[in-house]
Structure 1
Amino acid sequence: MLRTPVCGVLGIEVPIVQGPLGGPWQQSMELTAAVSNAGALGSVPTTMRTAAQVRDDVARLRELTDRPFAVNMTRRPFDAEVFDAVVATAPPVFSLALGDPGDLVSRVHDAGALFMQQVTTVEQAMRAAEAGVDVIVAQGTEAGGFSGPVTTMALVPQVVDAVGPLPVLPSGGIADGRGLAAALVLGAQGVSIGTRFLASAECGVPDEWKAAIRTAASQHAVKVLFAGHVLSAPTEGGYETVPRSLRTEFVDEWNDRPEAAVDSADALRTRVMAAMKNGTAHQLLPLTGQSAGLITDIAPAAELVHRLVSEAAAILRTTSRTLVD
């Protein structure tokens, strides 16, 4: 077993958090439950979900597991009605991404939940620590979805230095035990992983997307330079970030001429929204991190958790034996 202090904070057995995989697709509560039942922390996404849907998701999850889990929201956008519904469900952990926590921390703590904050810069991490969050996820630019400009390797040790002893979990570019071991060496207490769990048996995204991840090289996951003209803008307190996606004809066409997307913004937005409604959004914008280059199979989520832990433990033992005075 590989335990760190954050395990005690979150009530989990191994220091792995499943990043929320929300959007027009649904990751499924089966994935969240499988991760939590394996001793890690599964996450419930709320993006593009109504308050009623979120309540139903949490109720379904509680039928599948009695283990801790997180419910995630973002400030791109932020829905106050959904937040009220989340707090009312009293999740063990609330996580926030893509924006400043503001006064949400006290409201979450008053509901008896822990607060986990995702950041993309050292300055954001320091503000989150001052706001009283319990855990920080330091997300590097390698991550899928909306991410910042700094690499995980450069960001994490700086955040650890800035907010310690607050637990820090890296996110971005991590898909195997080597990434978990590296995170611990950098001073972090575990990891938060998204793309590797996209390519899991329980994840509810289309098989076409999973297959694309399995065969992709890291350079095939690129920043979507025109996204600001197509996707919703951050709400108040939101951070400016740029999403990362696997290359598609749609991404390549408009990344080659992002300025032209300004004049075509309405048409592009209509096209994306239609794809979201008919279940083909992954054919346009399959948000995926650069860790896709490390993924060669589609495996059950519990197997992935156990694999990450056993690989990391073996690497750390081997590394310690090779050190000389």
Structure 2
Amino acid sequence: MVRTALTNMLGIEAPLVGFNRSPAVVAEVSNAGGFGVLGASTFTPAELDAALSWIEEQVGGRPYGVDVLVPGHTAQSDPADLIASLRAQIPQGHRDFVEGLLERYGIPELPAGTPTVATDEIASALATGGGGVEALLDVAFSHRISLVANALGPPPPELVSRAKAAGVPVAGLVGQGKHVANQLEAGVDVLIAQGTEAGGHTGTVATMVLTPEVIELAGSVPVLAAGGIASGPQMAAALALGAAGVWCGSVWLSSTEEVTGEAVKRKYLEATSADTVRSPTRTGKPARQLRTAWHDEWDTLGAPSPLPMPLQPMLVQDAWNRIDAAADAGNEDARALESFFIGQVVGGFRRLRPTAEITREIIADCEARLHELARLTATPGEP
């Protein structure tokens, strides 16, 4: 059994953190000896309360955490006024481009009553606080979470003080060494060094280079390696670099419990590690995702440049809602466009498996590899 500063801090069996938006994945990771973290940024307070209550019923006292997007600075504005102001900043040419793209691929309107991602509300919460983020934190701290992570820069003082008062460690994500000082000054208890191999918003520095750099700057604060970690040997490599554990996200997209649609998962199984791209066309910031016809369209001559966050997601989220629904309904042109955030480990996906199986295999294979490495330095004649 591997013991590190992370396992001691959280009271877990193995230094493996599983980040995902699916409550079932979070519960299964924790039950299999790791530490599940729920990505809560797209939840309403009521949805988050229900999800955390369900997770606690499943894990039977085992620890788990929550990841939120809390801006360090917010604007004072009425949410409705802000949304209208932001939407007014989206050029008509961009609207025409997206609508034309959907028409060329024959993407139908959504059927009435189809659940969608509330992009406007998320944009408002990120810009103003809007009560949304604070309400999510109220819900999170009303449950027995064992860690809160903030994936949007250094956590604000209010989050840190609430976490300290509740005895909950705070984790912060960094993509470059220069980000470390600000996170430490903010009071984080754990640093996540996310390399460019990771899915979602990433920088350009590889995990192998970034992790030891962050460890050197972090002092006594534990560092988790993230990006390009989906197997036991990769986890062992992170520990060999000095990390206190690993933060895994993309690997769960090959699990049966993860809520991503079948159309995307099928494309993941067909993809290689070279089939991802860092693109701002979905969120307005470079985010690693599966490269598809969507990205090819934005690269064509005459296509507009992506807008900054939060304007780009406000521009394209309705389109993605339609693409997702059409792809899952069997529309082949929609499947050509279909994509989602994924790291370069997608090239190792062979089949969909239960989360618990994936978790236990990574942990067991990591321990086996560490034993193999120990034998390389053993005195001749020793076992």
Q: Does 1:74 align with 2:69?
A: yes
Q: Which residue is 1:296 aligned to? A: 350
User: What is the aligned counterpart of 2:244 among 165, 189, 192?
Assistant: 189
Give the corresponding residue for 2:140: 86
> Is the 2:261–2:324 Cα contact (8 Å) retained in structure 1?
no
- State the SS of the aligned residue for 2:42: coil
- Aligned-pair CA distance for 1:250: 0.8
Following superposition, the deviation at residue 324 of structure 1 comes to 7.5
Aligned partner of 2:48 in structure 1 is 54
Match of 2:229 in 1: 174
Residues in 1 aligned to 2:339 and 2:46: alpha-carbon distance in whole angstroms: 27
1:136 to 191, 215, 221: 191
Task: Supply the distance in 2 between the matched residues of 1:8 and 1:131 (Cα, whole angstroms).
Answer: 22
Which position in structure 2 is the counterpart of 1:2? 2
Following superposition, the deviation at residue 75 of structure 1 comes to 4.2
Mapped to 2, the partners of 1:223 and 1:210 lie a distance apart of 19
Q: How does 1:1-325 map to 2 (within 5 A)?
A: 1-21=1-21, 27=22, 29-65=23-59, 66-75=61-70, 78=126, 79-103=133-157, 104-227=159-282, 231=283, 241-256=285-300, 260-262=304-306, 268-275=316-323, 284-323=338-377
Quote the offset at 1:108 in angstroms.
Answer: 1.5
Q: Is contact 2:264–2:339 with CA below 8 Å preserved after alignment? A: no
How far did 1:169 drift?
Answer: 0.7
Using the TM superposition, give the Cα deviation of residue 209 of structure 1 relative to its aligned residue in structure 2, in angstroms.
2.1
Work out the CA distance in 1 between the residues paired with 2:316 and 2:139: 32
Shift of residue 297, structure 1, vs aligned partner: 2.5
Aligned 8 A contact 1:46 1:54 in 2: yes
Give, in whole Å, the separation in 2 of the partners of 1:41 and 1:172.
17
TM-score normalised to structure 2 length: 0.74
Q: What letter is aligned with 1:271?
A: A
Please, what TM-score do these two structures have when normalized by structure 1? 0.86
Q: Check conservation: 2:327, 2:338, Cα contact below 8 A.
A: no
**Residue 19 of structure 1 contacts residue 193 of structure 1 at CA under 8 Å; is this kept in 2?**
yes
After superposition, the Cα gap between the structure-2 partners of 1:297 and 1:58, relative to the gap in structure 1 and judged at 3 Å, is same
User: Partner of 2:84 in structure 1?
Assistant: none
Q: How many aligned residue pairs are there?
A: 308
C-alpha deviation, 1:267, in angstroms? 5.9
> Against the structure 1 CA distance between its residues 276 and 119, is the aligned structure 2 distance closer, same or farther, given a 3 Å change threshold?
farther
Contact persistence 1:144–1:243 (CA under 8 A):
yes
Which ranges in structure 2 are unaligned for 5 or more consecutive residues? 72-121, 127-132, 329-333
Show structure 1 runs of 5+ residues with no match: 22-26, 234-240
Q: How far apart are the structure 1 equivalents of 2:137 and 2:165?
A: 14
Report the identity percentage: 32
- Alignment-derived partner of residue 237 in structure 1: none
> Which one is further off, 133-142 or 248-257?
248-257
**CA contact under 8 A between 2:297 and 2:303: conserved in structure 1?**
no
Q: How far apart are the structure 2 equivalents of 1:257 and 1:5? A: 51
Q: Which whole-Å deviations, capped at 9, do the CAs of 1:170-228 have from their partners, x for residues lacking one?
A: 1111110111111011110110111111111221222332222222111101111434x
Aligned 8 A contact 2:263 2:327 in 1: no
TM-aligned CA distance change 1:141 to 1:256, over 3 Å: farther
Relative distance call for 1:278 and 1:125 in structure 2 (3 A) is: farther
3-state SS of 2:51 partner: helix
Letter in 1 for 2:320: V
Residue aligned with 2:62, SS: coil
Larger radius of gyration: 2
The answer to whether the 8 Å contact 2:202/2:286 transfers is yes
Report the CA distance shift for 1:311/1:51 in structure 2 as closer, same or farther (over 3 A): same
Hey, what's the Cα distance between the residues in 1 that align with 2:316 and 2:24?
33
Secondary structure (helix, strand or coil) at the match of 1:310 reads helix
Query: Closer, same or farther in 2 for the Cα pair 1:256/1:156, shift >3 Å?
Result: farther
Query: SS where residue 226 of structure 1 aligns?
Result: coil
Alignment partners' CA distance in 1, 2:167 and 2:2: 27
CA distance in 1, matches of 2:368, 2:142: 42
Once superposed, what is the RMSD of the aligned Cα atoms? 2.6
